[in-house]
Structure 1
Amino acid sequence: MAYSLALVDLDGTLTDSAPGIIASITYAFDTLGLPRPSEEDLRRVVGPPIEESALRHGVPGERLTEFVTAYRAAFTGGGMLNNSVYPGIREALTTLLDGGIRLVVATSKPEVFARQILEHFDLDQFFEAICGSTLDGTRSTKADVIEHALKTVAATEGGLPQVSDIVMVGDREHDILGARTHGIETIAVTWGYAAAGEHAAARPRAVASTPDELAAAVLAP
């Protein structure tokens, strides 16, 4: 039996946001006079909360606020829309809606930015809610964002289905681990930014290599 509700990540799942995010993070490192991470490490900052990625890649805690401010200046100044929708995503979302699946975005990106991106690419039409993190960091982990998404859905006319009818779709381990905190099954997608072996270590219920495979996995788990 198909799931009835799919929580869907944004960066690395719906859109290839790496060019804009990496350029904005590079700008922040340069602005603070800090050494840039390697190109491989820069790709790994895409997906998790920016604060978590910054600390993991050498930003001192006492300079974190300064770093995030510089990053967001570059991101809102143009990096946000240096982005593209993955081929096949619109078709997959259409297939899921036609199959009766409710769709909600659950992203570690600040909600205000997620809304602008989804509206820019005309993807907001597919989702009944767009849920993300807060700019002040009070809702930052993926588990926090998923909790926010569940509460948002619960307050809708359709209400919240039982946990076994919900699935989280994402490209990184924090999507999988955050969903597991709430007892939610997961489907990992391979076209995002996960490192080699990341999915195997996190153990999603299923792995999809194309948007068509993703739609099939949600509709017939």
Structure 2
Amino acid sequence: MPYNTVLFDLDGTLTDPFEGITRSIQHALEKMGSEVPDANALRWCIGPPLWESFAVLLGTEERSELDRAVAFYRERYTVTGLFENTLISGIDTLLEGLAADGRQLFVATSKPHAYAGKIVDHFGLGGYFKKVYGSELDGTRSAKAELIAYLMREEGIGAETCAMIGDRKHDLIGARANRVDSVGVLWGYGSREELEGEGPVAIVADAPELGRVLGV
């Protein structure tokens, strides 16, 4: 499908952040005096905004408590967790092909853009993207629908020329809210059932298959 503009989620789509995110959540829960689950029991936390995950983990909607937990998370994440991360196989080749084909590429992540940009640059991907869009540190625009709408306004992008690539339902829901086509990827943290439930135009198993769907 010849989309002129392609938006990529970061965590679970471009990179696998399992170690850095789960260890940082465990650090925060310990600091909060809460039960600390095994890392594998925290896999579902990769993708949604942090405030949503901590609301479930701590059993509270109290904003001040959630803010404390996020602060503890960042205490570890900004120093160590940020780079406890691996690049998804084949992603660099895919991005190179899309860029060479003249596509306009953006990162659209619930992660704060201050962190997301560092991760993208750490893996040498910065040159492929026009800009990295993420949330603000206070959680503003951490919801994908709001983030994608903001990105499209800022860049003057029409929905009919755009696709969103992501591994969780939040990515696909955000795309649909903005009448943007979406493609679900199975190498991240959402199941096929989760992705199918949101009506993407395709679900792919690896980067080469994604390239075929996008027409490169």
TM-score normalized by the length of structure 2: 0.94
Q: CA RMSD in A?
A: 1.5
Deviations 1:64-116 (A, max 9, x none): 11100000111012001000111101001111112221101000000100011
Distance 1:41 1:54 in 2: 13
CA contact (8 A) 2:6 2:103 kept: yes
Distance 1:184 1:55 in 2: 29
In the alignment, does 2:214 pair up with 1:212? Answer: no
Distance 1:87 1:195 in 2: 19
Deviating beyond 3 angstroms after TM superposition, the runs of 4 or more aligned structure 1 residues are 37-41
Which SS does the other structure have where 1:193 is aligned? coil
Q: Which amino acid aligns with 2:88?
A: Y
Name the residue aligned to 2:29.
Answer: 29
Name the residue aligned to 2:72.
Answer: 70
Which SS does the other structure have where 2:163 is aligned? strand
Following superposition, the deviation at residue 164 of structure 1 comes to 1.5
Q: Which amino acid aligns with 1:121?
A: F
Q: Aligned residues: percent identity? A: 37
Distance 1:55 1:196 in 2: 25
In the alignment, does 2:1 pair up with 1:5? Answer: no
Which SS does the other structure have where 1:197 is aligned? helix
Following superposition, the deviation at residue 218 of structure 1 comes to 1.4
Deviations 1:116-141 (A, max 9, x none): 11111111111001100011122220
Give the counterpart of 1:197 among 193, 196, 199.
193
Name the residue aligned to 1:173.
Answer: 169
Structure 2 gap ranges (5+): none
Distance 2:88 2:135 in 1: 23
Name the residue aligned to 1:157.
Answer: none
Name the residue aligned to 2:47.
Answer: 47
CA contact (8 A) 1:37 1:57 kept: no
Distance 1:2 1:186 in 2: 13
Following superposition, the deviation at residue 17 of structure 1 comes to 0.7
Name the residue aligned to 1:182.
Answer: 178
Which SS does the other structure have where 1:27 is aligned? helix
Give the counterpart of 1:81 among 80, 83, 88.
83
Closer/same/farther in 2, CA of residues 94 and 164 from structure 1, 3 Å limit: same
Distance 2:22 2:38 in 1: 11
Distance 2:6 2:87 in 1: 18
Closer/same/farther in 2, CA of residues 110 and 200 from structure 1, 3 Å limit: same
Answer with 113-122 or 188-197: which moved more.
188-197
Following superposition, the deviation at residue 40 of structure 1 comes to 4.3
Following superposition, the deviation at residue 37 of structure 1 comes to 3.9
Which SS does the other structure have where 1:202 is aligned? coil
CA contact (8 A) 2:120 2:126 kept: yes
Q: Which amino acid aligns with 2:15?
A: T
Following superposition, the deviation at residue 36 of structure 1 comes to 2.5
Following superposition, the deviation at residue 54 of structure 1 comes to 1.1
Q: Which amino acid aligns with 1:10?
A: L
